[in-house]
Amino acid sequence: MKKKYYIETQGCQMNEYDSDKMKDLLKKNMDFEPTLAKEEADILIVNTCSIREKAQEKVFSLLGQWRKLKNKKPDLVIGVAGCVASQESSEISLRAPYVDMVIGPQTIHRLPEIYKDSLKSNKTVIDVEFPLIEKFDNLPSVTEAKFSEFVTIMEGCSKYCSYCVVPYTRGTEVSRPLNDILEEIDILVKNGTKEIILLGQNVNAYFYDDGKGNFVNFGLLLFYIARNKGIKRIRYTTSHPNNFDEQTFLAYEKIPQLVSHLHLPIQSGSDRVLAAMKRGYTVLEYKSIIRKLKKIRPEMTFSSDFIVGFPGETDNDFSQTIELIKEIEFEQSYSFIYSKRPGTPAASLEDNISEDKKKERLNYLQSTINSLSKERSKSIIGKNVEILVEGVSSKYNDMVTGRTTNNKIINIPGTEKLIGKLLKIHVTELNNKTLKGEVLTT
Ligand code: 5AD
Ligand code: SF4
């Protein structure tokens, strides 16, 4: 009988991607099979996030539960992967010595060896190095492809915003070779993928130099990718305002497959706070990117990341954030209360804002964005739009869910046969938060 694995994933899309790759390794290289029942598993892995304190504490409480399973089944192998593994490697072996493997975000491809070593050792095996781009050369190749697939083009971050742990946990920016990316996409498309989502901590910091005088930046990469005519849509996440190159603007002009929605983190609408965060741009500079994009594509919509309650943020700073949200009409956000992270420069700043005030600001910010989103949804009722069908609706099993180029989710009657199709539809109603429509052509 095959051994079984169970992986729990916390945090961002990079972690989702890494977990998928660990699952591939377990199935293809280690002959394990998946299980949904933790009690049945021979190997349990949690892929962790340390961006905020709460996420990190969750890991230790989960490990406490898994310890009980190990007491009943001493052969059980427990692994901690991801950013908490990277940041707290020795702390984990101290606080939770029953953990067998600690695997950093850049060493997941070494899982088969780390696993073997852990079987031989009675101590926690730790491997949290940053071995450049070795990871991608050692992952199993693609054999099955969904209609929408993530493709990692770069890893890490070299921005060192004053509040953030990512440069320390995932390492500095490293780009994958152009040909590796194009080949991976080619295989995915040949296996049925229609939508490519380029993934990286700062995708538009992508820069590959082949050492022979040829180089490619993010904008050029988009042009290379768009040459594959099997791709119906190209999306990317996450980008940084300081890395917008001229070729990327040109890509919005020339590449229709590139969607008219951009997630561009700003964090705050106050220059004072942005400077304290060491973001490296002003509100005006951010707005000039938006203005240029809207000039090229007036229909373009935007979403962003925000941190509220950064040390020293005044009511006035916060109002500037709200004004900016209304001006740009952000429709979605990843917004959180600032969390002090040990080892980051901002950790030494005095946290002078009360918890209640932080919560109040976060609620206000989120409700402002929600109402802008609702307004936009209302504005497309009665209009004809195009959607790419993603899957069967989670609420209604006689409907499928698709996404417009502006990232609006719309349900239409239909079955899974429509998945992966680009359809012209007529938007009929907004029910609660759900948009519904009817197909015009198939
Ligand atoms: N506290 C709160 N939010 C944070 N982020 C990063 N570090 C912190 C922190 N210390 C948020 C930022 C970033 C997103 C990935 O997570 O908004 O864009
Ligand atoms: Fe963190 Fe700033 Fe890098 Fe984003 S750009 S991952 S917030 S350091």
The predicted-structure confidence for 286-315, as pLDDT tens digits, reads as follows 999 999 999 999 999 999 999 999 999 999
Model confidence pLDDT, tens digit, residues 213-259: 999 999 999 999 999 999 999 999 999 999 999 999 999 999 999 99
Ligand 1 pocket mutation pick from 15, 52, 199, 313 by most atoms within 8 angstroms of CB? 52
Residues at CB less than 6 angstroms from ligand 1: 51-52, 163-164, 265, 267, 305, 307, 334, 336, 338-339, 341
Q: 280: Cβ below 6 Å to ligand 2? A: no
Interval 333-386: pLDDT, tens? 999 999 999 999 999 999 889 999 999 999 999 999 999 999 999 999 999 999
Atom of ligand 2 at shortest range from CA of 164:
1
Specify the higher pLDDT residue, 12 or 322. 322
Q: What is the mean pLDDT of the chain?
A: 94
pLDDT tier at 442, thresholds 50, 70, 90: low
What are the tokens at 105?
């975000």
Q: Is the pTM of this model over 0.85?
A: yes
Whole-angstrom Cα distance, residue 442 to residue 421? 8
Task: Give the tens place of pLDDT for each residue, 164-199.
Answer: 999 999 999 999 999 999 999 999 999 999 999 999
Per-residue confidence (pLDDT) for residue 441, from 0 to 100? 65
pLDDT at 210: 86
DSSP H/E element including 99: none
52-79: average pLDDT: 92
Q: Which ligand is nearest to the CA of 347?
A: 1
Half-sphere exposure of 272 (CA within 13 A, CB side): 12
Q: Which of 170, 202, 281, 334 to mutate to test the pocket of ligand 2 (most atoms within 8 A of CB)?
A: 202
The DSSP-derived string for 145-206 is --SEEEEE-EE------TT--HHHHT-S-EEPPHHHHHHHHHHHHHTT--EEEEE-TTGGG-
Query: How far is ligand 2, taken at its centre, from the CA of residue 358, in Å?
Result: 21
- Residue 133's pLDDT is 64
Other residues' Cβ atoms within 10 Å of the Cβ of residue 353: 20
